[in-house]
Amino acid sequence: MKQLIVVGAGISGLSVAFWAERAGWNVTVLESAEVPGGTMRTVREDGWLVENGPNSALETTPVLWEMFRLLDIGKDHCYADDSSNKRYVLRDGALHPIPLSPGAFLSTSLWSPAGKLRLLKEPFIGRAEKEETIAEFVERRLGREMLDYGINPFVAGVYAGNPEQLSVRSAFPKLYALEEKYGGLIKGMIAGARERRKRAEVAKDRARMFSFVQGMQHFPEAIAGRLAGHIRFSVPVVKIDVAGATPPERSRFRVVGADGAVFDADAVVLSVPAYAAAGLVRPLSPDLASLLLGVYYPPVAEVFLGFRRSQCARPLDGFGYLIPAREKRRILGTIWSSAIFPARAPADHFALTTFVGGSRQPELMQLDDGSLRQLVLEEVHDIMGVTGAPVFSKICRWEKAIPQYNLGYQTVLDAIGRLEMQVPGLYLCSNYRGGIAVGDCVMNGKITAERIAGVSPRA
């Protein structure tokens, strides 16, 4: 049986390993940390459930449920409360619900009458002539106000990113495709809905939000449990040697851990962040290594605060709120964690998860924990009317949080493709390629395993 080494036990690497093992490969996963999950990390303490990474994920691909069934964790799966469809955006200091129906759109004060009227021009705007940032794309098609109070906060919520730098083509390929394929967003949405109805598919923006009773890390833990005996923790990989056949033959690999341990393999998947992959591919492609090192991961802090129910008068009737840069606040937004998944706080308490930093304000990460907590308290006091001190708090800092698919990102993706052609049997699969959402990582993990399996593992 042929040997596959997967480097990195985040959700991308574990998904590759899971599917490759089912396809008949002898799989070994090498992970530098002591636990599986990478960014998906859950802490349970004193009745609180704290997510250090993703708070939830969207069911954007059927691969998720295929895995839940095979892992027998469907029973632990939970959907977000129905009220979570309601999301707020801060404007002029007040929280406005994002309108979900045409009537609500017409009556909302989130956008001015002029901003709404500007949308009527959209179908008549032509295609872009050059690669654009999200800001350029949205301002051109929908106007400045939709950028500032529609897309800007959304981009902060998804990427902790800056719409003036992210490439619309690479970071939001579906949005970009509406213009490319149908000539406009409104035309594209109408035609897309018709096509989806024919194929009986559900629109991605209607995908349901889920987690697990035990928290998000339960998913990678379950995959790791299934692969038990085939995962080595505390093994940072420092080198990959290729004993080189020339294409189209497959190369044989020697994967070297920091302690000098050597693992032979017929194929290797790098499922580590871009900056970690850079060091491993440098001997094979110095150009790709420089490009991977250049991928920007802004820092983000997740500040989890727990309060007694009596400390907030307003109803927590939704997902939480996002903050446009123009509002000049010191936080990116707050998730009402225990309103979405009630079991995340003890009875008669509520939990808030607030995001600080990102590409918008990376300098705020210099603050010590006490100042960071105080800053968030002041903001949630001002925005939501929360009173008094929290009864529980936890801060998680990600110095390098989420890869930014900035303008020109296709150059990085093309260079990855070239290396995979040049070194058959080497694959790169992580969230800097093909999407950052958990669902994207899982789907790309399966696709990578299928590419590997396509070369006959049992041969």
Ligand X SMILES: Cc1cc2nc3c(=O)[nH]c(=O)nc-3n(C[C@H](O)[C@H](O)[C@H](O)COP(=O)(O)OP(=O)(O)OC[C@H]3O[C@@H](n4cnc5c(N)ncnc54)[C@H](O)[C@@H]3O)c2cc1C
Q: How many residues bind ligand X (CB under 6 A)?
A: 36
Does residue 377 belong to the site contacting ligand X (CB under 6 A)? no
Stretch of 5-13, 115-123, 130-138, 418-426 contacting ligand X, by CB under 6 A? 5-13
Stretch 421-450: interaction string toward ligand X, x if CB under 6 A: ---------xx----xxx--x---------
- Residue closer to ligand X by CB (options 138, 340) is 340
Burial of residue 453 (CB within 10 Å: 0-12, 13-18, 19+) is middle
How far, in Å, CA of 197 to CA of 203, rounded? 9
- Residue 185 CB, nearest approach to ligand X (Å): 23
Given 3-state DSSP classes, what are the helix, strand and coil percentages for the chain, each rounded to the nearest 5?
40, 20, 35
Q: How many CB atoms lie within 10 A of CB 456?
A: 11
- Residue closer to ligand X by CB (options 299, 324) is 299
How far, in Å, CA of 104 to CA of 187, rounded? 21
- Residue 356 CB, nearest approach to ligand X (Å): 11
- Residue closer to ligand X by CB (options 42, 430) is 430
- Residue 401 CB, nearest approach to ligand X (Å): 4
Tracing tokens 């999950």 back to the chain, one arrives at 37
Q: Are 168 and 134 in contact (CB under 8 A)?
A: yes
Residues from 26 through 45 that contact ligand X (CB under 6 A): 30-33, 38-40
Residues from 158 through 197 that contact ligand X (CB under 6 A): none
- Residue closer to ligand X by CB (options 227, 237) is 237
Does residue 376 belong to the site contacting ligand X (CB under 6 A)? no
82's tokens: 């129905």
Q: What is the CA radius of gyration of the chain?
A: 23
Stretch 379-398: interaction string toward ligand X, x if CB under 6 A: -------------------x
Helix 438-453 and helix 11-22: axis angle, to 10°?
30
Among 276, 288, 426, 442, binds ligand X (CB under 6 A): 276
- Residue closer to ligand X by CB (options 89, 276) is 276
Residues from 277 through 306 that contact ligand X (CB under 6 A): 300, 302
Among 50, 57, 151, 423, binds ligand X (CB under 6 A): 57
Find all residues with CB under 8 Å of 259, minimum gap 6, and list them. 235
- Residue closer to ligand X by CB (options 372, 438) is 438
Find all residues with CB under 8 Å of 262, minimum gap 6, and list them. 254, 255, 256
Dihedrals phi, psi of 185, to nearest 5 degrees: -75, -45
- Residue closer to ligand X by CB (options 19, 398) is 398
- Residue closer to ligand X by CB (options 97, 434) is 434
Among 133, 162, 167, 271, binds ligand X (CB under 6 A): 271
- Residue closer to ligand X by CB (options 8, 457) is 8
How far, in Å, CA of 404 to CA of 168, rounded? 11
Q: Nearest-5° angle of CA 160, CA 163, CA 168? A: 110
- Residue 139 CB, nearest approach to ligand X (Å): 26
Q: How many CB atoms lie within 10 A of CB 193?
A: 11
The H or E element spanning position 117 is helix 113-117
Among 4, 5, 11, 365, binds ligand X (CB under 6 A): 11
- Residue 390 CB, nearest approach to ligand X (Å): 20
Cis peptide before 346 (omega within 30 of 0): no
Query: Which spans of this chain sit near ligand X (rule: CB under 6 A)?
Result: 7-13, 30-33, 38-40, 53-57, 236-237, 271-273, 276, 300, 302, 398, 401-402, 430-431, 436-438, 441
